[in-house]
Amino acid sequence: MAYIELEDVTKRFGVVTAVDRLNLSIEQGECVAMLGPSGCGKTTTLRMFAGFEDLDGGEIRVGKRIISSKKTHYYLPPEDRNFGMVFQAFAVWPHLTVYENVAFPLQIRKLPKAEVQARAEEALKHTNLFHVRDSSPEDLSGGGKQRVALARALAIRPDVMLLDEPLSSLDPHFREEMRFEIKDLQRRFNHSILYVTHDQSEAMALSDRILVMRLGVVQQVGTPLEIYGAPANRFVFEFIGLSSFLQVALRDGRMEVGGASYAPPLPPPAELVVQGGAWLAARPNEIAFTAEGGVRATVLRKAFLGEVMDYRVAVGDAEVRVQTSRRDPGPAVGEACGLVFERPRWYPLAE
Partner 1 sequence: MTAAVNRGSRVGTSQILLGLSIAILVIVVAVPVLLIFLNAFWVDGAFNVADVVKVLREPDTYQALVNSLILASGVTVTGTIVGTFFAWLVTRTDLPFKGTMKVLFLVPFMLPSFIGALAWKMLLSPRSGYINRMFMDVFGLDGPVFDIYTYGGIILVETMYLFPFVFIQVAGALERMDPTLEESARISGANLFTITRRITIPLVMPSILSGSLLIMLYSMAHFGTVAVLGIEAGIYNIPTLIYEKIHQSAGSFASIRTGTVLATVLVITAAFILWLQNRVLSRGKYQIIAGKSFRPTQLKLRGLRVPLLLFCIAYIGFTIVLPTATIFMVGALKTYGLPFTAENMTFYNYKFILFEWQLTKDAIWNSISLGLAAAAITMFAGVIISYVIVKMKVRGKGILEFLGMLPFSVPGSVIALGVILAWSGKYGVNLYNTVWIILVAYIARYMAFSLKANSAALEQVHDSLVEAARASGATMWQALRDVVVPLVRPGMVAAFFLIFLPALRELTVSVMLYGPTTRTIGVAIYTLSEDGETVYSAALAGIALVIIVFGESVIKRLFKVGRKG
- Site residues (CB under 6 A) for ligand ATP? 13, 16, 18, 36, 38-44, 198
Q: Would you mind telling me the total number of residues written for the chain in this entry? A: 351
CB closest to ligand ATP, residue no:
43
Q: Is 122 in a helix, a strand, or coil?
A: helix
The answer to whether 120 contacts partner 1 (rule: CB under 8 A) is no
Ranges within 29-88 binding partner 1 (CB under 8 A): 50-52, 77-85, 87-88
Integer angstrom CA distances of residue 15 from 8, 57, 214, 288: 18, 15, 17, 46
Integer angstrom CA distances of residue 308 from 282, 313, 324, 328, 330: 17, 15, 6, 9, 11
Among 71, 109, 125, 131, binds partner 1 (CB under 8 A): 109
Binding at 52: pick from ligand ATP, partner 1, Mg ion, none (beta carbon under 5-8 Å per type): partner 1
How many of the other CB atoms lie within 10 Å of CB of 306? Answer: 7
Q: Which is nearer to partner 1, 62 or 281 (CB)?
A: 62
Binding mask 150-169 for partner 1 (x = CB under 8 A): --x---x-----x------x
Q: Which is nearer to partner 1, 89 or 225 (CB)?
A: 89
Indicate the Cα dihedral angle 241, 247, 249, 250, nearest 10°: 0
Q: Which is nearer to ligand ATP, 211 or 248 (CB)?
A: 211
Question: Minimum Å distance from CB 194 to Mg ion?
Answer: 13
Q: Which is nearer to partner 1, 108 or 300 (CB)?
A: 108
The answer to whether 291 contacts partner 1 (rule: CB under 8 A) is no
Q: Which is nearer to Mg ion, 43 or 219 (CB)?
A: 43
Query: What residues are paired with 16 via a beta bridge?
Result: 13
Q: Which is nearer to ligand ATP, 18 or 339 (CB)?
A: 18
Binding at 13: pick from partner 1, Mg ion, ligand ATP, none (beta carbon under 5-8 Å per type): ligand ATP
CA distance 17 to 268: 34
CA angle, residues 77, 218, 214, in degrees to nearest 5: 100
Q: Do the Cβ atoms of 265 and 341 come closer than 8 Å?
A: yes
Which residues sit at the interface with Mg ion, rule CB under 5 A? 43
